[in-house]
Structure 1
Amino acid sequence: MHHDESVVAIETGTPQLLLRREGRVAVMTLNRPASMNALSGELTPAIRRSIQRCADDPDIGALLITGAGKAFCAGGDVKGMGDRFEGAQQSEAERIADLQRKQRTLTGALFRLNKPTVAALPGAAVGAGLALALACDIRILAASAFMATGYARLAMSGDYGVNWFLTRLAGPGAARDMMLTARRIEAVECKAFGLASQIVPDGELQATSLRTADTLASVSGAAVRSIKQNLNDALHLDLESMMDKEADRLIRLLHSDEHRQAAEAFRNKSKDRS
């Protein structure tokens, strides 16, 4: 961290999720190490609230998500799988609508967050935990981290956007391999599939991730919002429509104070070097 603002703890309503702000970075730690940070009826709503908090708080410029102990997130708690789709008294249609709503407000909200997001994986990211990591902009993996979809082994077909994220990030071939075999994908293969930005030694994960998030937090918020909108549009627009959107967003940014200040700083740096 290049500036030493003190660390501010933010209440999440449960010890299962820790949230702190370091400078302009919000650090969210899934904190159920004994269960490999598996999602629970208490943890998941806290993650939702914290994502919303990051969206609303102007002092937060980037979000870093990680897991306590040796895992990132083992996905839905298989032991508590019943509570994940709680209420057998609900009709099937109600349970479908319930999961649809839960998905939109978790990985949907994370993917659409108008600030940069980094997932730091100390170990396993499985199932819905994998979807959580894939919904972030950047993934940094410790050398011992791995990914697995896990669903097929439980006779399940995937949720929280995992099929969509994998197909778009890793491509249809790798997504089919990962979803159908549910095999363990080691860090090096995650990188080859395009699912990891970088792999770092286990002991360096925290410092590297925080440094990365800190750099992202210093980018102009207006530029970040436009870049993320462009990248999301690029998933479904043809080239000409996309370039029209890019032109629209760029010209609007050129008239912003943030652009003028950045251009000025850049010019001053160039002068210093010459």
Structure 2
Amino acid sequence: MKTSRIVAADISQAVVQDVLIDVTDGVGTITLDRPDRRNALSDAMINGFATALEELEASPKVGAIVITGAGSAFCSGGDVQDFHEHGGEGGGSLEVDQRAVEEQRRDQEATIGSIYRCRKPVVASIPGAVAGAGIGFALAADLRIATSRTVFATAFAAVGLAGDYGVAWLLDRLVGPAKARELMFLNPRIRGEECLAIGLVNWLVPDDELVSRTREVAERLAMSSSHALEGMKQNLLRAPKDDLSTSMYNEIPLHKATGLTENHVAAISAFVAKQNPTFSTGWHD
């Protein structure tokens, strides 16, 4: 397999701190890399992640994106140890710092917002614990793969915080308002089987098969028609905001546009010949 790695020559060393980026066979992988802190978020990680996602979304060599965590965790959210050392989330202040509010809004849009709206399919590969803001990184992805070691915990109630990084919004849409309230208010630990049962994840696999199953799913996406996938994602993103008639109206131009592509013509020929279609790996211009 050919592997190209985005390193300091492509992105500054400061940007890649706490994040690993890899491109293999049409799949771009972003690894949150602070295993000693269970991949808790840092400023460097947030900035590096945002830059990496932007690079991978723009690259014609990448047809699907994977987000995962180094070691035994996916992402434990905000760095509680750092909060403790600096007097809490508010840094010991008695009033909200509006500049910090605006900075975090930009950070959240550059990470969670960008994952959710990414025109390429995004897969979250969850090896273990995911908590707090880290849940936003997992739930904003299109698909999620977990193992028996995966544990979701919103964790905000445990540290006296309301929650951020889109977690409440994403939970409400994935598991429904009643379950979302339970998870936010009571902070239960949701393990692998229950994650699958309530719809937090798409697949539950044995621990030693997580990497291979993730590659299988991501490579299948990377070898699919990128025009079709992009159109599907646009339709799915608009669906919650539109009524049925509006949704059907907006589907038609995208559907017709994909019908003009070489991928469509080749797929039709393969279908008639009772063969599997072959699409180019990567993404259209």
Give the percent of matched residue pairs that are identical in Structure 1 and Structure 2: 36
Name the aligned partner's letter for residue 256 of structure 1: T
| Equivalent residue in structure 1 for 2:21, among 3, 19, 22 | 19
Q: Closer, same or farther in 2 for the Cα pair 1:75/1:91, shift >3 Å?
A: closer
Aligned 8 A contact 2:133 2:167 in 1: yes
Match of 1:200 among 202, 205, 211: 205
d(CA) in 2 for partners of 1:84 and 1:31?
22
Deviations 1:198-245 (A, max 9, x none): 100101100100111000111111111111111111111111111111
| Partner residue in 2 for 1:224 | 229
Q: Distance in 2 between matches of 1:270 and 1:191?
A: 33
Match of 1:158 among 158, 163, 173: 163
2:34 to 32, 57, 62: 32
Match of 2:283 in 1: none
Tell me if the contact between 1:76 and 1:84 (Cα under 8 Å) persists in the aligned partners.
Answer: no
Cα-to-partner distance string for 1:30-61 (whole Å, 9 max, x where unaligned): 11111101111211110000010011111011
Determine helix, strand or coil for the equivalent of 1:120: strand
Q: Which residue in the other structure is 1:49 paired with?
A: 51
Is the counterpart of residue 141 in structure 1 residue 146 in structure 2?
yes
2:28 maps to amino acid:
A
Q: Deviations over 1:85-121 (max 9, x none)?
A: 7796996222221211111111001111110110011
Query: Is 1:62 aligned to residue 67 of structure 2?
Result: no
CA-CA distance at 1:20 after TM superposition: 0.7
Query: Does structure 2 retain, via aligned residues, the 8 Å contact 1:130–1:162?
Result: yes
Q: Say if 1:257 and 1:39 are closer, same or farther in 2 by CA, change over 3 A.
A: same
Deviation of 1:174 after TM superposition, in Å, equals 1.3
Change (3 A) 1:156 1:143: same
1:120 aligns to what? 125
Q: Displacement of 1:269 after TM fit?
A: 2.8
Q: Which runs of 5+ in 2 are unaligned?
A: 277-285
Q: What is the identity, as a one-letter code, of the residue corresponding to 1:118?
A: V
Larger CA deviation: 245-254 vs 77-86: 77-86
Contact 2:46/2:107, CA 8 A, preserved across alignment: no
Q: CA deviation at 1:270?
A: 4.8
2:129 corresponds to which letter in structure 1?
Answer: A
**Whole-Å separation in 1 of the counterparts to 2:198 and 2:141:** 16
Answer yes or no: is 1:8 the counterpart of 2:13: no
Task: Give the distance between the partners of 1:39 and 1:140, measured in 2 at CA.
Answer: 21
C-alpha distance in 2 between matches for 1:231 and 1:221: 15
Aligned-residue Cα RMSD (Å) equals 2.0
* 1:131 partner SS: helix
Alignment partners' CA distance in 1, 2:199 and 2:260: 35
Letter in 2 for 1:49: T
2:179 matched to 1:174?
Answer: yes
CA contact (8 A) 1:127 1:148 kept: yes
**One-letter code aligned to 2:6:** I
Between the aligned partners of 1:84 and 1:122, the Cα distance in structure 2 is: 27
C-alpha distance in structure 1 between counterparts of 2:48 and 2:19, whole Å: 7
SS of residue in 2 equivalent to 1:242: helix
* Superimposed CA distance per residue, residues 105-148 of structure 1 (whole angstroms, 9 cap, x where no aligned partner): 11001111110110011101111111100010000001110111
Equivalent-residue separation in structure 2 for 1:58 and 1:86 (angstroms): 42
CA offset at residue 79 of structure 1?
1.4
2:200 match: secondary structure:
coil
Q: Indicate the SS of the match to 1:10.
A: coil
Q: Report if aligned partners of 1:41, 1:84 keep a CA contact under 8 Å in 2.
A: no
* CA displacement at 1:15 relative to structure 2: 4.5
Q: How many residues align?
A: 267
